Amino acid sequence: MTKSNKYFTLLHRAVASMLCICIALGMLCSCSKTEESGIKTVKSVVSRNTISSPAEDATIHYSKSSKSFGTKAATSGLIELYVDPETNTFCVFETTKGKLWSVLPLLDGVASGEELVSNASMVSLEIIGGTDVYLLNSQDNSVAYGKASHSLIENGVVFIYDIFANADTSTKEKYEKTDIGFRVTVTVTLNDGSMNISVIHANLTGNPDAYIENIELLNCFGAYNASGVDDFLLVPDGSGAVIKTAIYDESFEDLSFAVYGDDPSAHYETSGNAIIPAFGIKHGDSAFVSLIQKGDAVATINACKAKSLSEYNTVYPSFRITPVFYEDETLSISKSSAASEISLCYRFLSGNNATYSGLASACREQLIRNSVLSTKTVDVDDYLPFFLTLTGAAKKSAGPLKYLSTLTDFEQAKDMLIRMKNKGINDVNVRYSGIFSGGLDSKDIDGASVLMRLGGTEKLNELYEYISSQKMSLYLDINLLSSSKGFASGNALNIHKANSSYTPVSRLAQHMETEASPREFRSLNKLSKLVASVLRDTRYYGFTGYCINDVGSVLYSDFSSGGLLRDAASDEIAAAIAPLSTGHSTMADTGNFYMLKNVDSVINIPINTTVSQSGAYFSIPFVQLVLHGIVDYAGYPINTGINLNETLLKYIEYGACPHFEWNYEALSGQTKNDPFYYDNTINAAAEFYSQANETLNDLRDARMTDHYEVDDGVFCTEYDTGSMIYVNYTDSDFSTLGVVVEARSFLRVN
């Protein structure tokens, strides 16, 4: 061996040794990370104490005066930021209407002799300390202890709150391991006429058994009790809702809405679900809308309606950053926390813009600016898309036996589309579900194959050839996150350390004399690899794109080793599904906003609320006001609604494309009263499609600019083209602007 070769051999061995060391260190780091994942379980917890330490002086929860704002910290556009040094909070002054938006209620607004009962604070914490629960906040447990401070920065101010469980701990120079104390830093800046808020937190005492379970932020920002007739709280319930605060409703209860739905792995329950992380308030001639930019996946929007002058109308966010569950004397606590940073953007509007339509417009602009929504607009063709959900195969019951039943094979689907074409339905977006292994109860899409009972790949490709020749579209419905049989690559675990699962809503189940089957969730650490596998396995299929079913409608935490909490899971999912839109169109079910960037259309988007409407609670098309013109969307299948005509009118009012769910075969063998049997509603669908196409098609790329109730039961939707669409839900004709909107009908006025 030459000297040179010997040198390179020694060098190679040295490099190899270093690589081995690096790999070993990497494995140790990986093991360390894995050990921190998962759940800490404490058993035999008979009871849990709830501990709070309210300050003796209740005025600490109030700002002193509406006439003296404090120190000016920043100005941007038409808003000014002021700091109240006594309470270590802030207010925003909107100069156009002279409106003051304060973190705390104003003390000079409280009637003389009235009891001070506000719990307002900049930040409230729900802390798990061992097995006890500590309810602490910035006012009682930081400002009152002299442990709050602030400093001015460019365009804003930084607030620091050292929050302790009691006054004694706040005076210590050296903390004990059992002490409870957290530092919360809130940065408030003004930019481009908006207010941006960023929140971070840290464990001050180093107590290993102390966790922040929940952070409540600005729980009384803009709160008010005296209401004008047009004042409201905006909440993201379903399509959106307003709470009219001037309407007295003694039965009204506080509401909470889980952004992107409840977490199936953590077993929290809220009043309803939200697909958009936004909320707002209108008071007088001014309003604001807040958009959660970071922490949205663990956020809940809370709304409280005042029932007396001593209470306040308010809507605000909270963030469940550490999943905790207590049941049967067992306390389960996540070993890791989500949302290391929380971020919100507040936009302020006044005058004619201070409506829920104006708030939606501001929200839309911010979502585009944040690259959550695309800058593109819908491509308008000759015809309005008609969304058709077909089911290939689904399980049916025959006594104790269950079997896979064919509902619509590929040749039958073609026959159905030919009939639709003959009736004037010219542009059909077919969402074909239940065509892979397991049918509607689909198995793991990784390695799943097209069912031979439907005709196999050959007949699928023949169907696509016809669809393509007619300028229609075919979407293969796939579940990326869930399976009816679990996963060889690993299941996600819930907070009880069991396989995480959920039971999807099945419109077909009750008609097939069977219950919807539960589906287990996938561990997300290999999702990107799965997407590559799906692209590879379907490359020889004929189709337009994918309908990513469960991705748009559910979001869960994974408490297995190396698993992800919801905020990290949403980022992982959004990044992993992006390749599906390369060379294909993409459709989503439901439409959780965190994954809409690369989506072309949304099906089953909410067109009403999850909470029942009442005298003070109204459904509005807030989501539609944000999305119209960016993506095509359709609500739940029209033929599954209780009142067919009313559902058709709602679609027109909300600017939605028609959507029907049909099968070629009757579910029970009897066609009568089967809402899914296509021949029962195809004529009504064709008639409605003709009217909807004429009314909505050329508006698909337009912005929906306004929506309001003209008269009891009569609504108007306006577009930036100048078009107005009136919808009359009443039994009497309605006259406006020299035209008549017939009873139970609609009319477009250009």
Tokens 């941006």 locate to 196
Whether residue 387 has pLDDT greater than 50: yes
Structure tokens at 204: 């001050």
Structure tokens at 646: 């009313």
Q: Do residues 699 and 676 lie in contact, with contact meaning Cβ atoms separated by under 8 Å?
A: no
Taking alpha carbons only, the member of 163, 171, 266 closest to residue 216 is: 163
Q: What is the pLDDT of residues 211-249, one digit of tens each?
A: 999 999 999 999 998 899 999 999 999 999 999 999 988
Amino acid (one-letter) located at 444:
D
Taking alpha carbons only, the member of 465, 461, 467 closest to residue 417 is: 467
- Percent of the chain at pLDDT > 90 equals 79
Which of residues 307 and 181 earns the better pLDDT score? 181
Give the pLDDT confidence score for residue 508 in this predicted structure.
78
Helix (H, G, I), strand (E, B) or coil at 180: coil
Q: Do residues 691 and 650 lie in contact, with contact meaning Cβ atoms separated by under 8 Å?
A: no
Which of residues 505 and 638 earns the better pLDDT score? 638
Q: What is the pLDDT of residues 32-54, one digit of tens each?
A: 233 345 889 898 899 899 999 99
Give the pLDDT confidence score for residue 3 in this predicted structure.
37
Amino acid (one-letter) located at 722:
G
C-alpha neighbours within 13 Å on the C-beta side of residue 660: 27
Q: Do residues 252 and 152 lie in contact, with contact meaning Cβ atoms separated by under 8 Å?
A: no
Whether residue 30 has pLDDT greater than 60: no
Give the pLDDT confidence score for residue 506 in this predicted structure.
78
Structure tokens at 284: 């007088």
Q: What is the pLDDT of residues 436-490, one digit of tens each?
A: 999 999 999 998 999 999 999 999 999 999 999 999 999 999 999 999 998 988 9
Ramachandran angles phi, psi of 18, nearest 5°? -65, -40
Give the pLDDT confidence score for residue 250 in this predicted structure.
80
Summarize the confidence of residues 97-121 as an average pLDDT. Answer: 82
Q: Do residues 106 and 65 lie in contact, with contact meaning Cβ atoms separated by under 8 Å?
A: yes
Residue 69's pLDDT band (cuts 50, 70, 90): confident
Distance CA 89, CA 589 (A): 42
User: What mean pLDDT is reported for the chain?
Assistant: 91
Helix (H, G, I), strand (E, B) or coil at 275: coil
- The overall pTM is greater than 0.85: yes
Which of residues 618 and 505 earns the better pLDDT score? 618
Whether residue 401 has pLDDT greater than 80: no
Residue 310 burial (CB count, 10 A): 14
Tokens 């994942």 locate to 37
Residue 304's pLDDT band (cuts 50, 70, 90): very high
Q: Do residues 289 and 346 lie in contact, with contact meaning Cβ atoms separated by under 8 Å?
A: yes
Q: What is the pLDDT of residues 5-28, one digit of tens each?
A: 433 333 344 433 433 333 333 333
Taking alpha carbons only, the member of 554, 553, 492 closest to residue 526 is: 492
Q: What is the pLDDT of residues 528-569, one digit of tens each?
A: 999 999 999 999 999 999 999 999 999 999 999 889 999 999
Q: Do residues 721 and 703 lie in contact, with contact meaning Cβ atoms separated by under 8 Å?
A: no
Residue 355 burial (CB count, 10 A): 20
Beta-carbon contacts of residue 677 (< 8 Å; ≥ 6 apart): 662, 663, 665, 666, 667, 671
Residue 397's pLDDT band (cuts 50, 70, 90): confident
Distance CA 187, CA 560 (A): 34
Structure tokens at 619: 């459904």
Handedness of CA 268, 273, 275, 276 (dihedral sign): negative
Residue 112's pLDDT band (cuts 50, 70, 90): low
Residue 170 burial (CB count, 10 A): 19
Structure tokens at 287: 């309003």
- Percent of the chain at pLDDT > 70 equals 92
Taking alpha carbons only, the member of 636, 640, 683 closest to residue 659 is: 636
The secondary structure of 449-494 as a DSSP string is: -B-GGGTHHHHHHHHHHHHHHTT-EEEEEE-SSEESS--TT-B-B-
Q: What is the pLDDT of residues 131-159, one digit of tens each?
A: 999 999 999 999 999 999 999 999 999 99
Q: Which helix (H) or strand (E) holds 309?
A: none
Which of residues 18 and 403 earns the better pLDDT score? 403
Out of 272-276, 354-358, 641-645, which region has the weakest mean confidence (pLDDT)? 641-645
Give the pLDDT confidence score for residue 707 in this predicted structure.
98
